[in-house]
Amino acid sequence: MRADLNCISIGSNNQTIACDNATGDFSLQSAFAFEPIPHIQAIEELSSSFDQQNFLISQVQQFSDLTNKLNFTIDRQTELMVHGKSLITTLESVNDTLSSTPKGSLSEVIIGALFSVIAAFTFNLIYWYLVDKKKKLSSSIARLNTVLDAFEKTATEYWYFSYHIRHSKSNKIKEMKMKAEHRILRQSKSEIVKLIHRKKTKTEVDAELTELLSSLFDSATGGDFESSERKEDLKRVGEIIKICTQIRMITAGLNT
């Protein structure tokens, strides 16, 4: 039996008679069966449609991403092309400058080159001339100081002791040494003055050294020089040491 109700049928009730093998009793069994409903099918279709739509949306999104990336790449390439063109223009300009011949005639170019060579040569010549002069000056000053040391030692020893007949020979040697060494000092002074570069310094140093050497001559070979009556003269010893030191100070100033 099937009940008809004023409602939406969602299924059917199937009844069957069953006989128990043991007891032999009969029984009525009902089984309810669902039937497909159009609404549910619609919902399923709608759901399926949503799934498809979602899939399409994701596809569109991916496509949009790809488009953006492509645009970025195209922009970069355009920018690089612009820079490349600028670089090529610059390189062409450099190439033109380097490969082109100088303006002016060939003779002007040769004269210019020749002048540069002469200028470089002259500068080199002057530089080494000055270096050589400086070395010679140092050498001459060293020679003067060596002779000055010897003169100072001889003169101070000579005047520190009175004349004694027992030392007459050594005294004679000292007298001859003092005269000879003073001559060498004067010659060394002339060499040094010649090697001084600045005219003002040359004049000043010449005047100062000439004056000092003149005073040294008076002190060392004056008084009872070469006399058998000579007494020790400590004042004269002091003068000789003082003058020698003044000469050393002047030459030291030149050597710096």
The residues of the shown chain that bind another protein, judged by CB under 8 A, are: 175-176, 179-180, 182-183, 186-187, 214, 217-218, 220-229
| Whether 251 contacts 192, CB under 8 Å | yes
Q: Measuring CA to CA, which residue among 191, 246, 236 is closest to residue 213?
A: 246
Residue 135 vs 183, nearer CB to another protein: 183
Residue 47 vs 223, nearer CB to another protein: 223
d(CA 143, CA 139): 6
Residue 141 vs 181, nearer CB to another protein: 181
**Shortest CB 180 distance to another protein, Å:** 7
| Phi, psi values for residue 149, rounded to 5° | -60, -45
> Residue 152: CB partners within 8 Å, gap ≥ 6?
240, 241, 244
**Shortest CB 234 distance to another protein, Å:** 19
| Whether 141 contacts 192, CB under 8 Å | yes
> Residue 219: CB partners within 8 Å, gap ≥ 6?
155, 236, 239, 240, 243
Residue 208 vs 224, nearer CB to another protein: 224
Residue 181 vs 251, nearer CB to another protein: 181
**Shortest CB 201 distance to another protein, Å:** 22
**Shortest CB 248 distance to another protein, Å:** 21
**Shortest CB 132 distance to another protein, Å:** 25
**Shortest CB 149 distance to another protein, Å:** 20
> Residue 186: CB partners within 8 Å, gap ≥ 6?
213
| Whether 175 contacts 158, CB under 8 Å | yes
Q: Measuring CA to CA, which residue among 113, 91, 88, 93 is closest to residue 102?
A: 113
Residue 145 vs 187, nearer CB to another protein: 187
